[in-house]
Amino acid sequence: MTTDSGSLASRLRASRNKTFVGRSEEVDRFRAALDGAQGAGPVLYVHGSGGVGKSTLLRRFEDEARRAGRRVVWVDGHRVTPSPAGFLAEATDAVTGPDVVLLIDGFERCQGLEGWLRDRFLPGLREDAVVVVAGRRPPSAEWLCDLAWSDLLDVLPLGALDRPTATALLERRSVAPARRDAILAFADGHPLALSLAASVTQAGSADTSRWTPGPDMIADLLSTLVGELPSRDHRLALETAAHVLTTTEPLLGAVIGEDRAAEMFAWLRALPFAEYGRPGLFLHELVSEVLDHDFRWRDPDGYERMHVRTGHHLLQRARTASETEAMTAIRALTYLKRYGPMEPYFKKIDREGDAYEDVLRPHDHEQAVRMTLETEGPRSADIVRFWLQEQPGAFRMYRSAQTGELVAFMLWLRLTDPRVGGSLDPVVAQAWAGVAQRGPLLPDQHLRMSRFMIHPGAYGQISSVGHLMQLRICGDWIRSRGLAWSFITTPDAQLWGPLMDHLGHGEMFRTSWEQGRTFTTFACDWRVTPLEIWFDRTQPGALAEAPAAPEPERAPDKPLTRTEFDAAVRQALRDLHRPDALRGSALFSSRLCTRFGWRTRQDPVEGLRQTLVSAVDEVRRDTRSDRQHRALAVTYLRRAATTQEAAAARLGLPYSTYRRHLAEGHQRLCEVLWHWELGGGAG
């Protein structure tokens, strides 16, 4: 992507150039690459620890390139979808014209693409292209040992600044001479620490003589810096940016309010530890971690409010994003789960890009069967063969980014007919049996089942490939229309059980299999779990290992039959204005109770009453049911009619006619509520 243009961007670049010091050797080697000097490689690989100044150096490279008349293309590894297609989507401009300088920042976030970048992407660039790769990790041994690259690759390790250079940085940041020695001793040449310390001392709020270097120096600096923020909105904006993958003005509007979002975004953008690109703004990783942990410890309630507002904004974005942007939006939503008891499932996926998701291709069929045979045995292989013929579009294939070879696949079934597959696959049959016990599907509803996740390199384990599968599953939960149930089958219930519970999927059944293996299937009835309620139940939870959050309500094991349901509706109508009697309604054992959250209200009885009133109003929507609606409304909603005879008189109807209209009204009302019970749309 190209960099921003406009007066603010120009002023920011000028400010960065003014405070840039040192790194003269690295700048000289970049200039040599631009000039095509003898012995200068066209690919520079910059690596160093977090906060050492890699991004700052790349900004300087950008300015050098533009002064040389070069066209600059940026790719941010932190924000790119870690796959060849995702990288190409950001780097398209680098392969379509002359005199390009490609700057790749944050490469550690898609380090798995290194082999593909080296062997496939870079050789396809024009001869006059210059490429800079910047990340925390040095290039791999395969790259360094490849003689073909020995004259083309220039490795630039970045370390701490020496004392004269660090002193010059503080001088350019207008730090008073009396404070420089204390800051230099504190920061020990760490550029981010120097920059933050300079920001703090300019505010005149810090006693630098008391600072001492150590692993908590960033936290110490930030605690001082946060204390000087202009307002509570500034603090919340900073803490929100630390919490999310990428910050945008609309996201800040959802948390702080639309009236101050633009102002807060502009303020964040000018901070010394902020970077920005096409997806939005992000803070330096070290800064984000310190701020987020401190906020959560200091103000758990405020943290939760911010998290919920942020999450619902990202949830809506994930629901409405285009297909091409969907996985990026899902990734941003999933990023919120990196803290708390679910951390091992989300945060520790620190290397992405080794594999990417793809569609099923004809030559994949036999390999998928063979992988299944070797991993789970012939019974599973036969089932995979069946679904390859019956539902090939349900297969998601995962390929090596470097070679394109198949490394894993997931069978993500979409099921609508209990007769398909159940006779061969007992897992599918048991799922349909469980659904049948809880009520049939409506015509526009379907099931989703992750039946196989075959990854021979990490079967049943936490892995980057498994994370891609989770993103796909989560995306379909959020974006599917008509989803009634979802099922996840795993060979290791002990490992995955906590995550399944966190995601609202309870254990439904177990299935004995070959090789002494037992599959456990977890399920969620989405008909009684509206998406917003599901999301609220899947908050990250406390930092403690065992959060004290109450267990979410689940659908009853033995829900009401249709006959029992209809009887409960009629009784609830009779008790509509008798709260003590309505509190004992059998409808509190229905799915409606969970779906509409009656028990989560301060007054559960009022929740039930409002649902009944809404259902009576729904009857009125059908113009053919006007007489039935009037009979229901006069009999139950208006207290003036104390008997059915009085209701008939109020309607001006013969008693027998009134009774017929009321019976038809009961029938229509029960149909409406039963439709809602099974997950149908509520008007």
pTM here?
0.69
The pLDDT tens digits for 257-290 are 999 999 999 988 877 678 776 678 888 777 787 7
The pLDDT tens digits for 161-183 are 888 888 888 888 778 887 788 77
pLDDT at 20: 75
Question: CA nearest 463: which of 474, 452, 454?
Answer: 454
pLDDT at 426: 95
Residue 379 in this model has a pLDDT that exceeds 70: yes
Residue 189 in this model has a pLDDT that exceeds 90: no
pLDDT at 213: 39
More confident residue, 43 or 207: 43
Contact 339, 543 (CB under 8 A): yes
Task: Give the whole-number percent of the chain exceeding pLDDT 90.
Answer: 29
Residue 321 in this model has a pLDDT that exceeds 70: yes
The pLDDT tens digits for 577-624 are 888 888 888 888 888 887 887 877 778 888 888 888 888 888 887 777
Residue 358 in this model has a pLDDT that exceeds 80: yes
For 522-545, what is the mean pLDDT?
69
Residue 192 in this model has a pLDDT that exceeds 90: no
Residue 334 in this model has a pLDDT that exceeds 50: yes
The total of other beta-carbon atoms located within 10 Å of residue 135's CB is 21
The pLDDT tens digits for 85-125 are 889 888 887 777 788 999 999 898 888 999 999 999 999 89
Q: Which range, 98-107, 364-373, 522-531, is most confident?
A: 364-373
Listed range (23-37, 185-199, 326-340) with the worst mean pLDDT: 185-199
pLDDT at 10: 64
Average predicted confidence (pLDDT) for the chain: 83
C-alpha–C-alpha distance, residues 217 and 116, integer Å: 38
C-alpha–C-alpha distance, residues 533 and 594, integer Å: 10
Would you give the distance in Å from CA 58 to the centre of its chain? 29
pLDDT at 556: 45
Q: Sheet harboring 406-415: ordered strands across?
A: 355-358, 395-400, 406-415, 446-454, 483-490, 518-525, 506-512
Could you give phi then psi for residue 679, rounded to 5 degrees? 100, 5
More confident residue, 556 or 351: 351
* Cα→Cα distances 82→55, 464, 474, Å: 19, 10, 17
The pLDDT tens digits for 12-39 are 566 666 667 788 888 999 999 998 888 8
C-alpha–C-alpha distance, residues 137 and 236, integer Å: 33
Q: How many Cα neighbours within 13 Å face the side chain of 360?
A: 20
More confident residue, 604 or 448: 448
Query: In which band, very low, low, confident or very high, does the pLDDT at 480 lie, cut at 50, 70 and 90?
Result: confident
Please give the structure tokens belonging to residue 277.
């690109």
